[in-house]
Amino acid sequence: MNPTILTLDARLGLDKYEIDEIHSHITVDQERCKTCELKPCLTVCPAHVYQWDDNHVAVRYENCLECGTCQISCDHGGNRGITWHNPQGGFGILLWLMAMRDRLSGW
């Protein structure tokens, strides 16, 4: 077993986030998602932000890595249900190395 292979949750746990508790930077049009055949967002997201839950798309935006793959997939392979904005200034993902930078002076 390769010890560097982690579960997705453990991977996401490596990163630091400044979560905007009030505003989600991702909105979905559930009506569009219901009629979407392929639902590419459920598979392409590297953080598994989108999950099909009881006839609607649940969005765990707080885990978002901010890559934008969902929007590009949705616009062409999906049903244009996703609207993605950049999180407000200073919010969202803060990559680990950045967060721990001060502890890494020996690197």
Partner 1 sequence: MNVVLIERGQAAGSKNVSGGLLYSKPVHEIFPNFWENAPVERVITTHQIAMLSEGSSVGLDFRSEESAKPAYNAFSVLRARFDPWLAQQAEDAGAAFIPGVTTDALKVENGRVVGIQAGPDEISADVVVIAEGTRSLLLQQAGLREEHHPHDVSLGIKEVITLPEKVIEECFQCGQETGAAYTFVGQTCGIEGGGFLYTHRASLSVGLVVKIDSLYKSKMQPHQVLDVFKSHPLIARLLVGGEAVEYSAQTVHRGGYHLASRRYGNGYVVVGSAARLLLNNIVTLRGMDFAGVSGAQAASAILSARESGGYMAENLAGYAERLKATAIYNDWQLFKDMYPLLENERLFTLYPDLACRTLETLFSPSLQPGTKLLYSLREQMKGKGSMLTLAKDMFQIARGVVL
Question: Cβ-count burial of 37 within 10 angstroms (0-12 exposed, 13-18 middle, 19+ buried)?
Answer: exposed
What are the backbone angles phi and psi of residue 51, rounded to the nearest 5°? Answer: -135, 140
- Shortest distance, CB of residue 44 to partner 1, whole angstroms? 5
Asked if 96 interacts with partner 1 (CB under 8 A), we say yes
In whole angstroms, give the CA distance from residue 26 to residue 30: 12
Q: Is 14 left (phi over 0), alpha (psi -120 to 50) or beta?
A: alpha
x/- letters, 28..67, toward partner 1 (CB under 8 A): ----------x-x--xxxxxx----------------xxx
Give the interface segment with partner 1, choosing from 6-14, 28-36, 51-59 (CB under 8 A).
6-14
User: Using CB under 8 A as the criterion, which residues of the chain lie in contact with partner 1 when the complex forms?
Assistant: 2-6, 8, 11-12, 14-15, 18, 38, 40, 43-48, 65-69, 71-73, 75-77, 84-90, 92-101, 104, 107
